[in-house]
């Protein structure tokens, strides 16, 4: 698979204007990335721009801190599905992870996956996959392993390293731990700090299924000219 088809092209900076969001979404479409990962306020815009292209729309939920009430996350998931997102990237409550509140973490994720895995649109062949962001820079290796197991129990489709907005992004150590723990039971998505083709390919060679990248880095990763204007946080 070509490297562009691994990419979730992030368009997430809170200060981004509507014009800038359109430019970044169109850049993702131009490079035929797997998804453009957008702010909730841009779902309708992104769905319209991506219609008829090879690029789908993913959206962040509970972003970037993961501390919203579970009921709020569930309501967000319902709204996003109805608006037509293809995938959801939710932030786990990593304060709860650090507290060892595993039942609460599991329920928080399961509330979203149960909503997202329903069939919302008759024309769609499948339900909406959920990627769970752990914010691995804030966790110990043991917490990363346990949180990955919890994501599997909560029926998530992917476990993901980072928001790109808090601390270090994806590290090879964290990704290796997630891959070994998953043992093929859940897909793994490194995100944060992946800004060139060599680093992207290194993670792909490790066995990941998706990559979260700053929209400004997509041209460079795909073999074009790097844009140093990194607004998305990735």
Residue 78 falls within a domain, yes or no?
yes
**Is residue 157 flagged as an active site residue?**
no
Residues in the chain: 234
Block mean pLDDT (10 aa), the chain, length 234: 97 97 98 98 98 98 98 97 96 98 98 89 71 98 98 98 94 98 97 96 98 96 58 51
Rounded distance between C-alpha atoms, residue 161 and residue 142, angstroms: 14
Beta 7-11 vs 211-214: how paired, if at all? parallel
Pure H helices in the chain: 18-30, 43-50, 70-83, 94-99, 102-116, 141-153, 172-182, 197-206, 218-221
**Is residue 89 flagged as an active site residue?**
yes
Rounded distance between C-alpha atoms, residue 127 and residue 110, angstroms: 15
Q: The pTM is what? A: 0.93
Residue 186 falls within a domain, yes or no?
yes
**Is residue 146 flagged as an active site residue?**
no
What's the CATH number where 95 sits? 3.20.20.70
Is residue 47 a contact partner of residue 53, using CB atoms and an 8 Å limit?
no
Rounded distance between C-alpha atoms, residue 168 and residue 177, angstroms: 16
Query: What pLDDT, on the 0 to 100 scale, is given for residue 224?
Result: 54
Catalytic residue among 89, 131, 157, 231: 89
Number of domains in the chain: 1
| Secondary structure (DSSP) of 159-213 | EE---SSSS----HHHHHHHHHHHTTSSEEE-BSS--SHHHHHHHHHHT-S-EEE
Residue 70 falls within a domain, yes or no?
yes
What pLDDT digit, counting tens, does each position of 24-71 carry? 999 999 999 999 999 999 999 999 999 999 999 999 999 999 999 999
Catalytic residue among 73, 131, 187, 189: 189
Residue 229 falls within a domain, yes or no?
no
Residue 228 falls within a domain, yes or no?
no
Catalytic residue among 73, 131, 160, 231: 160
Range of the domain at 197: 3-221
11 φ, ψ to 5°? -130, 75
Residue 227 falls within a domain, yes or no?
no
The torsion angle over the Cα atoms of residues 134, 136, 141 and 146, rounded to 10 degrees, is 0
Residue 230 falls within a domain, yes or no?
no
Angle between helices 43-50 and 18-30 (to 10 degrees): 30
Residue 55 falls within a domain, yes or no?
yes
Query: What pLDDT, on the 0 to 100 scale, is given for residue 232?
Result: 47
């Amino acid at each position: 698979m070509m490297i562009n088809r691994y990419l979730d092209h992030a368009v997430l900076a809170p200060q981004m204007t509507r014009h800038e969001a359109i430019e970044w979404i169109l850049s993702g479409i131009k490079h035929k990335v797997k998804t453009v990962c957008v702010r909730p306020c841009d779902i309708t815009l992104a769905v319209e721009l991506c219609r008829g292209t090879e690029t789908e729309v993913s959206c962040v939920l509970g972003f970037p801190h993961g501390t919203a009430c579970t009921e709020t996350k569930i309501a967000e998931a319902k709204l996003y599905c109805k608006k037509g997102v293809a995938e959801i990237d939710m932030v786990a409550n990593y304060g709860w992870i650090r507290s060892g509140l595993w039942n609460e973490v599991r329920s928080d994720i399961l509330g979203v996956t149960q909503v997202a895995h329903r069939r919302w649109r008759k024309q769609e062949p499948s339900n909406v996959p959920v990627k769970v962001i752990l914010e691995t820079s804030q966790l110990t290796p043991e917490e990363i392993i346990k949180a990955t197991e919890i994501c599997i129990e909560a029926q998530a489709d992917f476990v993901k390293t980072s928001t790109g907005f808090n601390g270090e992004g994806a590290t090879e150590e964290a990704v290796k731990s997630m891959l070994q723990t998953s043992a093929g039971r859940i897909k793994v998505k490194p995100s944060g700090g992946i800004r060139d083709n060599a680093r992207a390919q290194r993670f792909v060679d490790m066995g990941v299924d998706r990559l979260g990248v700053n929209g400004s880095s997509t041209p460079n990763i795909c073999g074009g000219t790097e844009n140093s204007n990194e607004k998305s946080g990735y």
